[in-house]
Structure 1
């Protein structure tokens, strides 16, 4: 996931089969490519071979199962319940996605099972037995780069590009097309962040600070949390001048409270909602405590570089930058130039002197491009300049619509299995998740940098299916 909260692709591998040995090789190869940088958290589909491989290669990772993959059988398994009890689906959704503590989830689940007399329902019991590996509340203390706890990791990177009839050669063409589309999306988000000014909704210096630091999407989320502080109250219930605990509650809902502990000397706060731990953005509860304790700007350790405008600075050379050789599509060249131009504009706009130099260089470069363009036009065959980008426009290239808050994943979103020749291992049942050695393990390092780089890896299985997997890596500096 990039600094705009957009899914990005870091690599693919062609697998002969979906065996444990194949995934072990794949994980080790990817780990080597990432300079042996261990992941902080990892989300995979429900598959025993993957789980075993993860435990071998990433023994300390916080591993969870994609909840959309877990719930894919819901419409079938619970059809009779939903038909008789129309409110059941909403209540189950709230239980899974809106509970904020483990105790609250356990109480809500028990109440739901008892209310609808489902204690003997085998599928629901298997879900409950594996709850620590897929229910969001069980891993809120780990970083998953999710803007919202309800955000699903539905593997939709190739949504609209491939289907069950996609051949191997066509897959590679569509793969490049998907990559170019996502590069364009990132460039558009970069442009929006750099060239437009967000509307401030409060006189708070903290909001102005966040607007200058965060990308547009992340700032919008932070602004939402900040504005909500106006309807919250914070009361000190324990502590002294060094460490204090505050009870934070909404004005009209005082019975639902959050506990925030603030260490004044270190200016560090911990909230019971654990939003910062999960998403890297401060919650409204901590911001409310900051307000009542006169903390006017964000402490530096609460500004993750991965969510800022400068997230890409200092992380290595852009491999797509510089000279481009061989058959590179027009869109790829355009994207590469746009990225360089944006960085150039950022540096050039710092002062009048840098602006004048940058503008002069652009004009001089423009003249040279015009000369070369005329020479290219004389010798290039008709249509060759854009031929590499000439895909079949009849193929769908649109991305899937924004996912609405649904309990079940929509059928056309479940594109992980493409049965190319009707072979491949069957999906494991939820009950297969109950392996003692596969319990999620929280990874905390006192000497590690708080910033994280999230990487998504998609694997194309040439025999049975496409498997989407997300690896989240911590940048250690």
Structure 2
């Protein structure tokens, strides 16, 4: 167990108390031993410009391998991903020992800082202590081992191209069922087990539900299962190069807070850039591409664009409807060289968008629509993208006006289509809109007159 000096402990706790006095939203929690040495610490950085838990903690990454201080205590950052697919430091922990109880304490402190808002999914390095803590504190959250840590294990314990490729196929091939995994695993072990890697393979089998595609492939991880670059970027977050092993605890705390504020500044800059950016349309599907480009941040739109570019690869070979007149729920069967996908279109009811789900489950895994759903939308000549295809916190932050405009356009098309079929209703809707515009124009002129009067006559 690491032993943190009493003077350094006192300096850190005094700093945190001062922050709490200045800002009631600041959160920290700690434990010291009988002699006054710090045992466990967790804190967050309060910033009124940002809501750190505005769904950036839907998926959290917990890295437990840092030893970035003179005491050898574990520095444990808890990291989320924002709507630009960039890391956000949600909280920081320091543990003088890495026992299961310490990680349970840390996760419970994190949950208190989020007002008990449970993350949908958790990614860890797979250490026994942190796995136990997640099972204890967050039993309903999806949990898997980080691909970056698995890759280190592959390089260390598996020799030869065939062994490495075989293990990675078990990690990423999501068409493998749990039963099929058992067969493939025993075959893999029979070919590649050695005296030196036997223990590691046994550990990987025990934890199979935390890393194999057969168990985690269809769960919500914002696409980080297949996009290792994003996952590893969230893990590093500039933290690995920002700290040194001779730092005091107070220096570590201040450096972590600096990185946190830097990440938030980057987020604000990317928000500003996204609001100003106008994407050049590159596909023939102008309606879909324009709506997504206007709604999503550039990082998320780039992913959706790949799906838009591939939507023509498929052919609808069958459509089943829940009612004889073709209304209600529908199931579309799409074919690509004999590979079939089913897209369910559920009727949203009055004044509600339809809900789309696909058998590929990309929406459930990544929070972004798949090419199969987009093909059906294009086939149905959809005039707008349904809300179910736009996970709210992946959208542009400052683009609420365009989002409202899109909703009004969709609602207006329905109203105008119905009103145009009846002369009386047409005149009623037309009159209402003319009256509204006239009243709005008068209001704007009244405000302008008041401002002008105040400016010229000094408010007299």
**TM-score normalized by structure 2?**
0.59
Whether the aligned pair in 2 keeps the contact of 1:113 and 1:119 (CA below 8 Å) is no
Q: Counterparts of 2:317 and 2:296 in 1: how far apart (Å)? A: 30
Of 222, 228, 248, which residue of structure 1 is paired with 2:334?
248
Cα distance, 1:284 vs structure 2: 0.8
Cα distance, 1:218 vs structure 2: 1.0
1:279 has 2:366 as partner: yes
1:262 has 2:345 as partner: yes
Aligned to 1:174: 255
Q: Counterparts of 1:245 and 1:110 in 2: how far apart (Å)? A: 35
Aligned to 1:369: none
1:309 has 2:396 as partner: yes
Instruction: Give the SS at the match of 1:146.
Output: coil
Whether the aligned pair in 2 keeps the contact of 1:67 and 1:135 (CA below 8 Å) is no
Aligned to 1:39: 119
Q: Counterparts of 1:212 and 1:29 in 2: how far apart (Å)? A: 38
Instruction: Give the SS at the match of 2:385.
Output: coil
Q: Counterparts of 1:35 and 1:228 in 2: how far apart (Å)? A: 42
Instruction: Give the SS at the match of 1:236.
Output: strand
Of 7, 12, 29, which residue of structure 1 is paired with 2:109?
29
Which ranges of structure 2 fall in alignment gaps of 5 or more residues? Answer: 1-80, 401-443, 449-460
Aligned to 2:212: 135
Aligned to 2:415: none
Show the 5 A alignment for 1:88-99. 88-99=163-174
Q: CA RMSD in A?
A: 3.6
Of 202, 222, 233, which residue of structure 1 is paired with 2:315?
233
Instruction: Give the SS at the match of 2:97.
Output: coil
Cα distance, 1:137 vs structure 2: 4.6
Cα distance, 1:34 vs structure 2: 1.2
**Relative to 1, partners in 2 of residues 1:273 and 1:43: Cα closer, same or farther, differing over 3 Å?**
same
For residues 292-341 of structure 1, give each alpha carbon's deviation from its aligned partner in whole angstroms, at most 9, with x where no partner exists. 2333421123211111113898xxxxxxxxxxxxxxxxxxxxxxxxxxxx
Q: Counterparts of 2:355 and 2:143 in 1: how far apart (Å)? A: 27
Q: Counterparts of 1:87 and 1:283 in 2: how far apart (Å)? A: 31
Which ranges of structure 1 fall in alignment gaps of 5 or more residues? Answer: 314-352, 358-477
For residues 241-265 of structure 1, give each alpha carbon's deviation from its aligned partner in whole angstroms, at most 9, with x where no partner exists. 3334333343xxx133333233245
Of 188, 193, 210, which residue of structure 2 is paired with 1:113?
188
Q: Counterparts of 2:151 and 2:317 in 1: how far apart (Å)? A: 40
Aligned to 2:278: 197
Whether the aligned pair in 1 keeps the contact of 2:174 and 2:218 (CA below 8 Å) is no
Show the 5 A alignment for 1:59-98. 59-79=139-159, 82=160, 86-98=161-173
Q: Counterparts of 1:311 and 1:57 in 2: how far apart (Å)? A: 35
Show the 5 A alignment for 1:311-460. none
Larger Rg: 2
**Relative to 1, partners in 2 of residues 1:312 and 1:100: Cα closer, same or farther, differing over 3 Å?**
farther
Cα distance, 1:207 vs structure 2: 1.6
Q: Counterparts of 1:312 and 1:56 in 2: how far apart (Å)? A: 40
Cα distance, 1:72 vs structure 2: 2.5
Higher helix residue share: 2
Q: Counterparts of 1:17 and 1:169 in 2: how far apart (Å)? A: 18
Instruction: Give the SS at the match of 1:46.
Output: coil
92-101 vs 13-22, which moves further: 92-101
Q: Counterparts of 1:126 and 1:255 in 2: how far apart (Å)? A: 38
> What is the count of residue pairs matched by the alignment?
311
Whether the aligned pair in 1 keeps the contact of 2:172 and 2:225 (CA below 8 Å) is no
1:186 has 2:267 as partner: yes
Aligned to 2:293: 211
53-62 vs 174-183, which moves further: 174-183
Cα distance, 1:113 vs structure 2: 1.7
Q: Counterparts of 2:296 and 2:183 in 1: how far apart (Å)? A: 36
**Relative to 1, partners in 2 of residues 1:146 and 1:290: Cα closer, same or farther, differing over 3 Å?**
same
Instruction: Give the SS at the match of 1:258.
Output: strand
Aligned to 2:78: none
Instruction: Give the SS at the match of 1:153.
Output: helix
Cα distance, 1:179 vs structure 2: 2.8
Instruction: Give the SS at the match of 1:298.
Output: coil
Whether the aligned pair in 2 keeps the contact of 1:66 and 1:153 (CA below 8 Å) is yes
Cα distance, 1:13 vs structure 2: 2.2
Q: Counterparts of 1:200 and 1:148 in 2: how far apart (Å)? A: 29
Q: Counterparts of 1:102 and 1:47 in 2: how far apart (Å)? A: 25
Whether the aligned pair in 2 keeps the contact of 1:207 and 1:223 (CA below 8 Å) is yes
Whether the aligned pair in 2 keeps the contact of 1:213 and 1:308 (CA below 8 Å) is yes
Instruction: Give the SS at the match of 1:36.
Output: coil
Cα distance, 1:205 vs structure 2: 1.3
For residues 1-44 of structure 1, give each alpha carbon's deviation from its aligned partner in whole angstroms, at most 9, with x where no partner exists. 11111110111122232223322222222212211222222222
Q: Counterparts of 1:159 and 1:229 in 2: how far apart (Å)? A: 40
Cα distance, 1:119 vs structure 2: 9.8
Cα distance, 1:53 vs structure 2: 2.6
For residues 76-124 of structure 1, give each alpha carbon's deviation from its aligned partner in whole angstroms, at most 9, with x where no partner exists. 2112xx1xxx344334334422434436972893596289465996333
202-211 vs 237-246, which moves further: 237-246
For residues 185-238 of structure 1, give each alpha carbon's deviation from its aligned partner in whole angstroms, at most 9, with x where no partner exists. 323322321112111123431221111111111111112111110222232265
Cα distance, 1:71 vs structure 2: 4.2
Q: Counterparts of 2:261 and 2:321 in 1: how far apart (Å)? A: 54
